[in-house]
Structures are given as C-alpha cells and as structure tokens.
C-alpha cells in the first residue's frame, strides 16, 4: 500500500543538475517560489517563462516531464481552499448560478486572481519536485545546514524522513493484520460505517503510541552515544565554480522573470 | 565551509589497571509506576570477559543495561573502570561503554550510514578528520565499508545490525553491551554476526535468548530472573544444569 516511491522521489543520475551543490538547488527552488509569489496577478508571460525554465531544468536533469507533471497534481487540493475568491472579489460578473439556497456569481477579477493562484501553486510545487528529484535527502539537510537554518529544524526534518519509512511499514503491517482478520461470510451484512471508523481510529491511536514509544528508544540510543542536546554533523559539500555559475544563472533568470512580470 | 569542532583534550583515563571494567553492587531499580525491575543486582566484568546475560522476558535485562549506561538511575553502586556513574561524568562513561540496542531502526536514526557511525565520535568531541578516520575503521571492522554513503533505510536487517555495531565501535569503547543481537536474523546473517562478535576485542555483555550463540562465543553466563542474579558461572556449567535452566524459563535447543 505504501511504496518506497511514495516518499522517495529522488532519481539517481549524474546530470549537471544532480551535480550542483545542494545549496544552489535549494536557493533556486526557494527563489522561484518567492518570485512566483511576488509576480502580479495575470502576469502570464512571466509565469510562462518560469514554467519553461523549469521544463529546461527537468530536461537537463534527465527526469521524465510526465513524472513531474503527475507529481505536481498534489498541489490541486490545497488550491481548492482559495476557491471562494472566485465569488467574493468584486468585479464584472461573468457567470451566475444557484447551488442549494446560495446565489453565486463568478467575477472577472475573481477568476483572474484564482487562476493566478492556481498557476503559482502549480509552478512552485514543480520547483520543489525538481529539487527533491535531483537531490538526495541527506544532501538537502547538509545544504540547509550550510545555509544556516537552525539545526533543530534540520534534525526534525531528518528524523521525519528517516522514520516516515519505518512508520509507513508499521501502518502497512497493521492494515494487513486487520485485513487478514476481516473475514465475512457470503450472506453476512456489511459492517456498519461506525464500526469501521472506530477501527480506523484505533489504528491511528496504535500508530501514535508506537511512535511515541519509539521516540523514547531513539532518544536513549542518541544519549547513549553522547548526545547532550547539541546536534553535530559533518557537512561534506564545498561550492565549486560550476556551482557559483549555476547560482548566477538562476538568480539572473529570476530577476528577468520579475522584470517581465512587473513591466510587460 | 567545513564546520570546525574545537579539539578536546584526551580525557580517557584508564583507571582500571587491575580493577573490573564494570562493577555493579546491590543495584535496585523501580519504574515510576512502582514496578520493581531490579532487586539488588551484583556483578563484575573484568577486562576481556565475554559474558551472556540471559533470562526470561521481564527479568530486568534491559533495565540493567540502561542502568549501566546511565540512562536510568537506580540505587546502588555502578562503576565503569572504577568510576562511579554521576551526572558529571556521564559523557566520559558513555565514551567507554557502547550499547547496541535490539532494534536497529532505533539505533540508526540518521539519514545515511556515514552520519550514523559519525554520530558518536562527533558528540565525543573528535575532530572532523579523526571522526572520518574512525567511521572508515569502524565500517571496515564490520565489513560494511562500501555502504558508507547508503541510506540506513535501504539496508537489510543483517546489514542494519552490522552498522548498528559500527556506530558503537567508532566510539572505541572498552565495554560493548549488545541487546538481542541475533533476534530477527536469518541463519546466514546470524552466522556472520556471530563471527563478527567473536572477533571483537572489547569486553562484551550480551543480553540474549539465543543459547546456542552463548555456548559458541560467550564463556561466561549470568542468569537474571525477577531482577536478581540467580546464577553467574562458566557457560559450560550453566548449560549442563538443565534443572537450573528450566527453573528460569530457559531451554537449550538440542
């Protein structure tokens, strides 16, 4: 049910994007997300250039474009939160309809804002996907460390990444154990939803308890090896000239996108 | 941009010219819920001893180990290399006693094998170069050198166990405590782990239910039951005493 690829999108390769220092890639991904946010609504040309820039990155990295597009669909449910903007922003009415007792009107300003948010979110998620597909997770951690992100935050991220696998295995085992005992006779009624919900709730509780106990054991293992509240790690990355060059290209690209977005 | 660690003076003082590496006297421990786990444990380990700690589940093996490493604090005497365990010398104690927990997923908490094996030396204050050196040595000792950059999650159970041992070897402890090292291993992985443990020069204290492993590589056996040492003798003698074994829920496979 959980596959390894559910969490691990890294695609091993030796492309120039893979070889870039993780710092550059992190700055690039965060940079394009920031640039997206700063672009005005309806800056379609700038959005288009951002998208093309990302597609070029994908091609350079040798990842399948379809992989990135498919993955980027995860952004959609979050964008739906913004759907009310369609109806609430004052402007020229485009379409009106009735749902239940509500009378809803989509305005042109609302539509523009909503599609802009949609495109922004979609492009930003693609930037993050390219980052994780071309950078091993430990390297992202090192990059963040070099970028002076607080160590506790990085440690939380690394633990989450490490134990996501363990936790999902545990969840899979619980689900399999339940499935193995969920027998039913041909003419027996389906169990009521209430019962199923209770079961699922119990499982979540089980998972929480197990994780809680595991956290205790992990902490013991850390303390036993001399942990005293300070995270120390070795970070083996050094920026070479190619990395500075890559960073320069990304930054000038982003500036260009901003100029186009604001003045054209 | 390497991160520089202040070199720390070599603090490892070996006080144990002749004294025992581990000394526990009349150790009592109760959990906060009132359950009494240890009821006066007394035992000693001399340098180079390889001892098994056996006993039924709930006999206090894990509690004893956590007391020896100074994670739990019972009442009684606990000395490592002649030093009583106090809050102040815990870091020193932990550089001298390494513990390999039963579940390698608890022991290996870093994203990569390298970072996990480097964790101990780094937190002991080793310099970056020395840490790297120690990691390479420790992984070579457990025959896992080529796994240095792998992600811990992707290893098999046997590989995880070996790396877990390396995480402790890199700290160069005098005493290594292993909790259920052979549990959950297939015969081949178990065999290679036994060979590895047999080659370790350190003093060993191994908590296990695997009496065949005990007979093979651990000359001394300590039986724990209900928080007490009920037998402490040569493995050969103890394994011959079927009455004793049965009384404490143990069984030697034929």
pLDDT tens digit sequence for B39-68: 999 999 999 899 999 999 889 999 999 999
d(CA B13, CA A247): 50
Asked if A5 is an interface residue toward chain B (Cβ–Cβ < 8 A), one would say no
Full-model pTM: 0.79
The alpha-helical segments, DSSP class H, found in chain A are: 4-7, 16-19, 22-38, 44-61, 65-72, 75-79, 85-88, 108-134, 137-146, 151-181, 193-224, 241-263
Q: How many domains does chain B have?
A: 1
Q: Do A162 and B132 touch (CB under 8 A)?
A: no
Q: Do A138 and B151 touch (CB under 8 A)?
A: yes
Give the CATH number for residue B53: 3.40.50.300
* pLDDT of B4 over the 70 cut: no
Q: Contact B60/B213 with Cβ under 8 angstroms?
A: no
B171 lies in some domain: yes
What lies within 8 Å, CB to CB, of B237 at 6+ separation is: none
B9 lies in some domain: no
What lies within 8 Å, CB to CB, of A7 at 6+ separation is: A161, A164, A165, A168
Q: What is the pLDDT of residue A17?
A: 87
Which residue of B106, B119, B131 is in closest CB contact with A217?
Answer: B106
pLDDT tens digit sequence for A119-161: 999 999 999 999 999 998 888 888 998 898 888 898 888 888 8
CA-based nearest distance B213→chain A, Å: 24
Average pLDDT estimate for B234-238: 92
Q: Contact B200/B138 with Cβ under 8 angstroms?
A: no
Residues of B within 8 A of A210 (CB-CB) are: none
A171 lies in some domain: no
Residue B244: C-alpha distances to residues A179, A188, B129, B240 (Å): 43, 53, 51, 9
Least confident segment among A193-197, B109-113, B213-217: A193-197
Asked if A149 is an interface residue toward chain B (Cβ–Cβ < 8 A), one would say no
Domain range for B180 is: 22-247
A64 lies in some domain: yes
Q: What is the pLDDT of residue A1?
A: 47
**Mean pLDDT over the full length of chain A:** 86
B46 lies in some domain: yes
Residue B57: C-alpha distances to residues B27, B71, B121 (Å): 19, 20, 33
Q: Do B3 and A234 touch (CB under 8 A)?
A: yes
Q: How many domains does chain A have?
A: 1
Q: What is the DSSP letter of B230?
A: E
pLDDT tens digit sequence for A193-207: 888 788 888 888 988
Closest to A94 measured CA to CA, from A81, A83, A109 = A109
A47 lies in some domain: yes
CA-based nearest distance A93→chain B, Å: 54
B164 lies in some domain: yes
Closest to B179 measured CA to CA, from B102, B111, B253, B238 = B102
Residues of A within 8 A of B118 (CB-CB) are: 233-234
What lies within 8 Å, CB to CB, of B191 at 6+ separation is: none
Which residue of A161, A221, A235 is in closest CB contact with B111?
Answer: A161
Q: What is the pLDDT of residue B221?
A: 94
Asked if A214 is an interface residue toward chain B (Cβ–Cβ < 8 A), one would say yes
Which residue of B99, B112, B124 is in closest CB contact with A138?
Answer: B112
Q: B33 is written with which tokens?
A: 């819920």
Q: How confident is the model at residue A176 (pLDDT cuts 50, 70, 90)?
A: confident
Q: Is B44 helix (H, G, I), strand (E, B) or coil?
A: strand
d(CA A159, CA A137): 11
ipTM: 0.80
Q: Output A51-56 pairs: Cβ under 8 A, ≥24 positions apart.
A: A51/A123, A51/A126, A53/A253, A53/A257, A54/A123, A54/A126, A54/A127, A54/A130
A189 lies in some domain: no
As a whole number of Å, the end-to-end CA separation of chain B is 59
List, as one string, the DSSP characters of B47-59: TT-EEEEE--TTS
Residues of A within 8 A of B171 (CB-CB) are: 225-226
**Mean pLDDT over the full length of chain B:** 88
Q: How confident is the model at residue B7 (pLDDT cuts 50, 70, 90)?
A: low
Residues of B within 8 A of A233 (CB-CB) are: 3, 110, 115, 118, 122
Q: How confident is the model at residue A59 (pLDDT cuts 50, 70, 90)?
A: very high
Which residue of B94, B111, B128 is in closest CB contact with A225?
Answer: B94
pLDDT tens digit sequence for A22-35: 999 999 999 999 99
Mutation test of the interface with chain A: which of B101, B153, B161, choosing the one with the most A Cβ atoms within 10 A?
Answer: B153
Domain range for A241 is: 8-135+237-263
B57 lies in some domain: yes
Q: Contact B135/B12 with Cβ under 8 angstroms?
A: no
Q: What is the pLDDT of residue B12?
A: 46
CA-based nearest distance A22→chain B, Å: 13
* pLDDT of A52 over the 90 cut: yes
Average pLDDT estimate for A234-263: 87
Q: Do B109 and A222 touch (CB under 8 A)?
A: yes
CA-based nearest distance A116→chain B, Å: 37
Average pLDDT estimate for A5-21: 78
Percent of chain A scoring above 70 in pLDDT: 97
- Chain B: residue whose CA lies nearest to A221: B107
Place of tokens 């060059």: A245
Q: How confident is the model at residue A163 (pLDDT cuts 50, 70, 90)?
A: confident
pLDDT tens digit sequence for A60-113: 998 888 888 888 888 788 888 888 888 888 888 888 888 777 888 888 888 888
Q: How confident is the model at residue B131 (pLDDT cuts 50, 70, 90)?
A: very high
Residues of A within 8 A of B95 (CB-CB) are: 226
* pLDDT of A221 over the 60 cut: yes
Q: How confident is the model at residue B173 (pLDDT cuts 50, 70, 90)?
A: very high
Q: What is the pLDDT of residue B29?
A: 93
B7 lies in some domain: no
């Amino acid at each position: 049910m959980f596959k390894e690829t559910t969490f691990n999108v890294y695609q091993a390769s030796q492309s120039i994007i893979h070889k870039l220092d993780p710092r550059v890639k992190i700055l690039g991904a965060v940079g394009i997300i920031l640039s997206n946010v700063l672009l005005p609504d309806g800056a379609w040309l700038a959005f288009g250039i951002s998208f093309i820039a990302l597609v070029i990155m994908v091609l350079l990295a040798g990842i399948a474009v379809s992989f990135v597009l498919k993955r980027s669909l995860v952004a959609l449910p979050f964008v739906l939160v913004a759907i009310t903007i369609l109806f609430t922003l004052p402007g020229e009415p485009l379409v009106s309809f009735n749902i239940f007792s509500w009378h809803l009107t989509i305005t042109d300003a609302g539509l523009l804002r909503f599609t802009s948010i949609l495109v922004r979110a979609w492009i930003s998620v693609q930037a993050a996907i390219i980052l994780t597909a071309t950078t091993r997770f430990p390297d992202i951690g090192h990059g963040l460390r070099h970028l002076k992100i607080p160590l506790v935050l990085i440690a939380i991220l690394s633990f989450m990444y490490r134990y996501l696998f363990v936790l999902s295995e545990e969840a899979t085992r619980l689900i399999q154990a339940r499935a193995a005992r969920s027998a039913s006779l041909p003419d027996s009624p389906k169990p009521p939803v209430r019962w199923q919900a209770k079961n699922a709730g119990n499982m979540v509780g089980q998972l929480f308890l197990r994780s809680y106990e595991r956290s205790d054991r992990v902490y013991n293992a850390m303390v036993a090896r001399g942990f005293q509240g300070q995270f120390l790690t070795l970070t083996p990355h050094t920026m070479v000239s190619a990395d500075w060059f890559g960073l320069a290209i990304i930054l000038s690209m982003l500036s260009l996108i901003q100029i186009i977005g604001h003045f054209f | 941009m390497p991160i520089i660690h202040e070199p720390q003076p070599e603090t490892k003082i070996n006080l144990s010219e002749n004294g025992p590496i581990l000394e526990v006297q009349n150790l009592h421990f109760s959990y906060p819920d009132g359950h009494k786990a240890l009821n006066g444990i007394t035992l000693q380990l001399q340098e180079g001893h390889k001892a098994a700690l056996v006993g039924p589940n709930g006999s206090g093996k894990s509690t004893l180990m956590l007391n020896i490493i100074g994670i739990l604090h019972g009442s009684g005497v606990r000395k490592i290399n002649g030093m009583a365990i106090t809050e102040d010398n815990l870091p020193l104690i932990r550089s001298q006693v390494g513990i390999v927990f039963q579940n390698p997923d608890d022991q290996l908490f870093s994203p990569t094998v390298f970072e996990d094996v480097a964790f101990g030396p780094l937190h002991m204050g080793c310099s970056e170069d020395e840490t790297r050196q120690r990691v390479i040595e420790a992984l070579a000792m457990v025959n896992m050198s080529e796994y240095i950059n792998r992600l811990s999650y992707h290893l098999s159970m046997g590989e995880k166990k070996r790396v877990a041992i390396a995480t402790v070897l890199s700290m160069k402890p005098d005493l290594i405590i292993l909790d259920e090292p052979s549990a959950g291993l297939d015969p081949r992985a178990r065999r290679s782990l036994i060979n590895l443990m047999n080659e370790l020069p350190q003093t060993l204290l191994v908590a296990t239910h695997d009496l065949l492993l005990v007979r093979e590589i651990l000359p001394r056996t300590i039986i724990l039951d209900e928080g007490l040492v009920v037998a402490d003798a040569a493995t050969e003698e103890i394994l011959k005493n079927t009455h004793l074994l049965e009384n404490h829920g143990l069984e030697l496979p034929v």
